[in-house]
Amino acid sequence: MQNRFATTFAAILAVAPAACSSSSGGGGDTASSGDMPSVHLEQTIYMESSGKPQEETAYHKMLADCAAAGTPTTPVAAGDVQRIGRKKLTETIEANRSSRRVDAWKLEAAAPCQFKLVHEGSQDIQTADGKAYHVDLATNEGDVQASGQPAPREAVDDGDLDAQAKAAKWTRGGKGNVQGAACETWVAPTGDQYCVWTGGTKWGFSQAGINALDGDGLTSDSAIVLQATPPAAGFGWNVKTDQFTVGKAADASTFAVPPNARIASN
């Protein structure tokens, strides 16, 4: 299986800026790999419609319909309802290694009104010695590829992206701050607003809004969206940053392959 995140990460080029000894998003001791400090991100992501979580709202509607029809019902456990349709992103990026874990919870019904919450997820790890691991967290099956030594990261020039954004009718919405980190607000033609981290351009992180989120609501490999808000009367991805740090030491387990994973070599 092709590891998109690790392959892209390994291909990014970089210069060697002065070592960073302070945090622009949360503080902590510097823990740099090469010239870049450790960047850690934790987010909650879900599709929002008219200001409400789309999948959770749909579940409540189906539950009410089941009750009105008198159909025997197996609901989702009360403590798990707030997970319906949510994703949790946990990501750590350093100069020569990275880890991205995505956990997702989806609603299933094997029969009418028989609801079950199903956990899915994946973890992608790029190691400093040039290996790229991908693990399916639902099956614990994975693979490893030789991706080559990660190239150093270089500063990004957003000139071309700014021109693309302007041509596509994106507009700037002003400066923002999320979890203590400065970000630039961008407004898409659809009305979605993204606040993109501005403190990482010298390490290859763009501060442009266009292309900053992928189709699954996940921040891209080359930019960090700290907050995304869809238009009040429309729908789109809601992204909330629960934790963001720059320069805080990463635990060794962050880059470890899950202990129960069955890894097949390619």
C-alpha distances in angstroms, 232 versus 54, 185, 237?
13, 17, 12
Q: Please report the pLDDT score of residue 169 as a whole number.
A: 95
Q: Please report the pLDDT score of residue 52 as a whole number.
A: 96
- Lookup: tokens for 147: 């991706």
From CA 173, how far away is CA 238, in angstroms rounded? 17
The helix/strand count (H/E) of the chain reads as 3, 15
Q: Please report the pLDDT score of residue 222 as a whole number.
A: 87
- Lookup: tokens for 74: 């197996």
**Neighbour tally for 248: CB within 10 Å:** 20
Half-sphere exposure (Cβ direction) of 56: Cα atoms closer than 13 Å: 20
Low-confidence ranges of the chain (pLDDT < 50): 1-33
The angle subtended at Cα 209 by Cα 208 and Cα 211, nearest 5°, is 100
Total structural domains within the chain: 1
Q: Check if the beta carbon of residue 43 is closer than 8 Å to that of residue 220.
A: no
Residues 6+ apart with CB under 8 A from 47: 53, 54, 55, 85, 217, 235, 236, 237, 238
User: Closest Cα partner for 217 from 102, 61, 60, 135?
Assistant: 102
Predicted TM-score (pTM) of this structure: 0.85
- Lookup: tokens for 199: 């403190």
Can you give the residue range of the structural domain that contains 240? 4-265
